[in-house]
Structure 1
Amino acid sequence: MSDGVLKRYVRDYIHSQDGDVVDFAWQGGEPTLAGLDFFKKVVQYQKQFANGKTIHNSFQTNAIAINRQWAEFFAENRFLIGVSVDGTADIHDKYRVSVNGKPTFERVKQSIDLLKEYKVEFNTLTVINEENWNKGKEVYQALKELGSQFLQFIPIVEVRPECHQRLESYSPIANPELAPFSVPAEGYGKFMTDVFNEWVLQDVGNIYVRMFDSILACWMGYPASVCVQSKNCGQAMVIEANGDIYSCDHYVYDDNRLGNLMTTDIEKIALSKQQRNFGLDKSRNLTEMCRNCNVQALCYGGCPKHRIDVIEGEHHRQNYLCPSYKAIFTHTAPAMHHMSEAIRRGGQAADVMPMMAQIYNR
């Protein structure tokens, strides 16, 4: 990203936010490849244009390049670091290797130790794929051993390139073939329920799993904190290095290009009819199966990018991960009921842990 685009982005994004707190999220690709000097300039521009607002930065990284210079910078500027790690060494190193094909788990572990040493806040992002979907307990324990207290798990569902009808948009053919590393349709549910069984018995209030927090929020009557559970999309726009802005970081296609911040006001882009329709389509394009589902309010059809299954008699496509979402929401329901009731009585979610062994047969 050129200096001109960066300066314009920081200035306009801060000015477009009505609140007193402005959140910047840096990801890639791999953001450390931009270099430390780039992010020093980021902070410089944020201070220049803050105008009294509080600036927060999150930074998603594979952590391979983090050294003492990076750790010191993160600490001084209070960056929140998201570390991509997929479980134990053998699981992680299946796909996360260096450019020369070497395993990276030990380097990631060393980077996490550096973040701890410099007291940098961090969380972990774990991709659920064909390698780890049936190892939920093992992965969960490995992340705890790394010192992660804030965990996020995301499923990977990747349509093979030859199964797209056109390159300008996300347009998979009916029931497309998936890349071999994709998680099975029921696999994400198996993983998350296995993790839940560990978490709900011993770690509520000490370990925070983003999806479980979001489910509990919904049970409490609050909006979901995870976009795949939200009624509508459109809150995760992405800016590319040249200033182009797209509807979502999962939809960087020509048809989802909203404009360029060097020529169009960023607030105007965010409020455009194109982006509004993109967001509303999530709930507008549900199958009848979804509309009649008893867990629809916790899901709203999941991420539109995963709606690839063609069902006879349905006008719209069904989410590939539907079996997983049903399994997760059904399995967690008894605990969420008790947790939400405990909170309404003035207690805490963790108060219900003693009774969970009876419900979850442990």
Structure 2
Amino acid sequence: MSELIPPAGRGRLPRSFRAVIKPIGSLCNLECTYCYYLHKKDLLPGTTGRRITDDLLEEFIRQYLAEQDVEEVVFTWHGGEPALLGLDFYRKVVELQEKYGAGKRIKNDLQTNGVLLDDAWCEFLKEHGFLVGLSIDGPKELHDCFRRVGTGMGISTVGEARESSTALTPGPSPEAGEGSFDRALTRAGETGEGRLDCALTSAGEGGEGSFDRVYAAARRLREHGVPFNAVTVIHAVNVRHPEEVYRFLTEELGCRRVQWLPCAELKNFRRVAPGRWDTAEMPVVGSRAARPGSPESVVTDWSVDPDDWGEFLCRTFDLWMKEGLGKVLVNWFESLVGQWMGLPAQICSLGEVCGRSLIAMESDGSLYSCDRFVFPEYKLGNLCDSDRRLGDVVYSIEQREFGCKKRNTLPDYCRSCPYGFACNGECPKSRFLKTPDGQPGLNYFCSGIKRFLEYADPYLRQIAAAVQRKRGIEPLGTSVEVALRE
């Protein structure tokens, strides 16, 4: 078995990894309908409402810095909502990083919903060079569909979600045909079904939208000069409005870094860990069960239809080509340009293997293979265990096997695909379909991704060639971002 992260030594790459730190577990001040992490309070009862202790925080920072053989180390603070810990917590973080940094360059990323970011927060983030990932799903009508404050979701049916975005009318969508959300509504009307598959919707109409607070946070971040990325979940509603989403983020919000995160969850995602599905129950790609909105569907109603995801990528790629090339960095497009140049994927879901960088640590010190695999089946250990260091867990056989499984379990359908080098089967969390010939392990988004790559291929070739002529590809670490900006 090939080593994912070779140990340091002569002829070896330096040891380097990243961890997604959950210092407050799943605790959050929003109850987003599509959230993949809120239910961890029930799955991992020992972490409920528990913040990381001061001793554990110090030990983590000490080990995390000591185990890195590189000059620059990045900390990623995640949740739940990590800002709930308050500014004093992050002042302590910075003090400990200075104490154990040993001359390393230290950077911090804060993934936040923005609700708590006032001027004091922004001043601190600017002073200490934090990069902020701000969760925002587009303009108000689209953002507030599923990102709600308080105990109620505020959206109880797919129809209400659709109606909440009536101010936006999707333009013509070549080759896409009727959208999945319209199909879902039609099926819901025919069957009497259609309620969002989320237990929290039973809380009723109490939750208000969070857009106004998030937009205010974005304004403050800009005013204080704090760099931030727009982290945009593409769900069953905003996927139908690619131009509105893209233009809002890049023009009105003024964001120069955008991350698309397509949403797809099995209806049993709170109970069944990824990769532990019953393969006999996996639907075949293209079947009604493999699309959202029908009673027999295996995915939640807020999940993106695969073909709509492909169309969203095509339309936003067009806009990026015409208006954003060299100015706006979209995670999918930036990574693919590099991959067309022969460089490694810049986002983990498109990489050949997993586990190379992003392990997850919960507030009690429990360590998991990935942020999307925080289930008991994927627990690697605990930082509080005296007999294992953080590096022992990261470079363990279990984690290497987890990472290589992404490559080793690809179905033949993927291995024969001309775009396999770019997709690599995408995230294993979403490999719950069967191929046309019945082989399990096909990614839910396959048809949409393939449609997009076929469409974008000639343009990606041209961009990659232009970048190579301008910059060359040596050394392999050359940033596509820098090349595109010039």
Contact 1:295–1:329 under 8 Å retained in 2: yes
Alignment of 1:80-99 (within 5 A): 80-99=131-150
**TM-score with structure 1 length normalisation?**
0.93
Larger displacement relative to structure 2 (310-319 or 230-239): 310-319
User: By how many angstroms is 1:335 displaced?
Assistant: 1.2
Which of the numbers 309, 313, 319 marks the counterpart of 1:188?
309
Could you report, residue by residue, the CA deviation over 1:146-188 in whole angstroms, capped at 9, with x for unpaired residues? 1111000011111112895x56974364236111111112121
Which of the numbers 254, 261, 271 marks the counterpart of 1:147?
254
Alignment of 1:192-271 (within 5 A): 192-234=313-355, 235-263=357-385, 264-271=388-395
Structure-1 residue corresponding to 2:267:
160
Which of the numbers 223, 243, 248 marks the counterpart of 1:117?
223
Structure-1 residue corresponding to 2:452:
328
Distance across 2 between alignment mates of 1:341 and 1:226: 21
| Partner SS for 2:239 | coil
Which of the numbers 299, 302, 307 marks the counterpart of 2:423?
299
Q: Which runs of 4+ in 1 moved over 6 A?
A: none
Q: Please, which runs of 5 or more residues in structure 2 have no aligned partner?
A: 1-51, 151-205, 284-296, 472-482
| Partner SS for 2:282 | coil
Structure-2 residue corresponding to 1:39:
90
Amino acid at match of 1:146: L
Structural RMSD (CA): 1.8
Distance across 2 between alignment mates of 1:181 and 1:270: 34
Contact 2:274–2:373 under 8 Å retained in 1: no
Q: Please, which runs of 5 or more residues in structure 1 have no aligned partner?
A: 352-362
Structure-2 residue corresponding to 1:130:
236
Distance across 1 between alignment mates of 2:308 and 2:261: 12
Contact 2:340–2:460 under 8 Å retained in 1: yes
User: By how many angstroms is 1:310 displaced?
Assistant: 2.4
| Partner SS for 1:14 | helix
Larger displacement relative to structure 2 (103-112 or 294-303): 103-112
Amino acid at match of 1:28: G
* Count of residues paired in the alignment: 350
Amino acid at match of 1:246: Y
Contact 2:432–2:440 under 8 Å retained in 1: no
**TM-score with structure 2 length normalisation?**
0.70
The answer on 1:174 being equivalent to 2:298 is no
CA 1:185–1:56 in 2, change beyond 3 Å: closer, same or farther?
same
Which of the numbers 467, 470, 475 marks the counterpart of 1:343?
467
CA 1:162–1:279 in 2, change beyond 3 Å: closer, same or farther?
closer
Distance across 1 between alignment mates of 2:80 and 2:62: 23
Contact 1:339–1:350 under 8 Å retained in 2: no
Contact 1:60–1:81 under 8 Å retained in 2: yes
User: By how many angstroms is 1:202 displaced?
Assistant: 1.8
Amino acid at match of 1:200: M
Amino acid at match of 1:148: C
Could you report, residue by residue, the CA deviation over 1:84-134 in whole angstroms, capped at 9, with x for unpaired residues? 000110000111111151121111111111111111011100001101112
Distance across 2 between alignment mates of 1:333 and 1:311: 23
Amino acid at match of 2:432: I
- Percent identity at matched positions? 33
Amino acid at match of 1:228: S
The answer on 1:13 being equivalent to 2:84 is no
CA 1:36–1:170 in 2, change beyond 3 Å: closer, same or farther?
farther
- Choose between structure 1 and 2 for higher RCO, CA contacts under 8 A separated by at least 6 residues: 2
